[in-house]
Amino acid sequence: MNLYAIRAIYRYEMARTFRTLLQSLASPVISTSLYFVVFGAAIGSRMGDIDGVSYGAFIIPGLIMLSLLNESISNASFGIYMPKWTGTIYELLSAPVNYFEILIGYVGAAATKSIILGLLILITARLFVDYDVAHPLWMAFFLVLTAVSFSLFGFIIGIWADNFEKLQIIPLMIVTPLTFLGGSFYSINMLPPMWQTLSLFNPVVYLVNGFRWSFFGVADVNVAVCIGVMLAFLALCIAVVGWMFRTGYRLKT
């Protein structure tokens, strides 16, 4: 394995983040802080506990997931799309670097940025509400697994997109609505029975509930099912990326 190539791609992507700290890290943290002010302080103070957890603390996992999904997709898709747009992707493909090493470099950097952002939001949440993490190791597991899975998904979008507009279509039109409807701000048990059943077809429900369980030990769905859904999504993304590299889909033409 060409560790030098992986390190070069990884360092280049991380350096791009640190050159744009205001956009990459500060902006999502500030936006999430506003959610805490509005939903946690203003609205949460007027709501009762949910499953024995104060509303301000209950929404922390959902808000972290909201930022984590969007940033993972954005970082990975933009990272691979820019070499395609500038034409430097051909230099990378002709270099003595295999596809797996390219994937590790780009996805590893995107996932690292997302994990840093998730931890920053977690620290920021302490300024607005008290909370405890019941299962810290599981919390780290869900955080890393989600960041890697959706960075892979973003990598797929970056290869698929042939203009800047397509980079935003799926995150804005599909991922964000699914996140808001995935129990980020409420328990799906609060919904009418028909909507509870429909919510179970939303994959984000399993991400949010698995992550919430690691915080408070409560979830609307079985935690084992949450882990299974996440691992299945990860495997699907790996399979699609493998097919794209094997066929050269929108990489060699």
What is the model's pLDDT at position 81? 92
User: Torsions phi, psi of 50, nearest 5?
Assistant: -120, 115
Q: Which helix (H) or strand (E) holds 56?
A: helix 55-58
Mean pLDDT value of segment 51-63:
86
**Range among 19-23, 125-129, 142-146, 177-181 with highest mean pLDDT value:** 142-146
What is the model's pLDDT at position 21? 66
Instruction: Read off the pLDDT of residues 209-250 as tens digits, 9 standing for 90 and up.
Output: 999 999 999 999 999 999 999 999 999 999 999 999 888 888
Pull the structure tokens for residue 186: 């409420």
What is the model's pLDDT at position 40? 65
What is the model's pLDDT at position 167? 87
What is the model's pLDDT at position 213? 95
- 248's torsion region: left (phi>0), alpha (psi -120 to 50) or beta? left
CB-based contact 204:65 (threshold 8 Å): yes
Predicted confidence (pLDDT) at residue 46 exceeds the cutoff of 80: no
What share of the chain in percent tops pLDDT 70? 94
How far apart CA 253 and CA 245 sit, in angstroms, is: 12
Location of structure tokens 């066929």: 247
Pull the structure tokens for residue 154: 């973003």
Predicted confidence (pLDDT) at residue 145 exceeds the cutoff of 90: yes
Instruction: Read off the pLDDT of residues 147-156 as tens digits, 9 standing for 90 and up.
Output: 999 999 999 9
Provide the CB-side half-sphere exposure for 29 (13 A, CA).
22
Location of structure tokens 């996440």: 230
| pLDDT grade for 22, boundaries at 50, 70 and 90 | low
What is the model's pLDDT at position 44? 62
Amino acid at 246: R
Instruction: Read off the pLDDT of residues 108-143 as tens digits, 9 standing for 90 and up.
Output: 999 999 999 899 889 888 888 888 899 999 999 999
Pull the structure tokens for residue 191: 């919904």
16: DSSP letter: H
Q: Which residues contact 8 (CB under 8 A, 6 or more apart)?
A: 105
Mean pLDDT of the chain: 88
| Closest by Cα among 76, 68, 59 to 110 | 76
How far is Cα of residue 246 from the mean position of the Cα atoms in its chain? 26
Whole-model pTM: value is 0.91
Report in angstroms the alpha-carbon separations of 198 from 191, 194, 202, 203. Answer: 10, 6, 7, 11
What is the model's pLDDT at position 253? 62
C-alpha distance across the termini of the chain, in Å: 26
How far apart CA 243 and CA 102 sit, in angstroms, is: 15
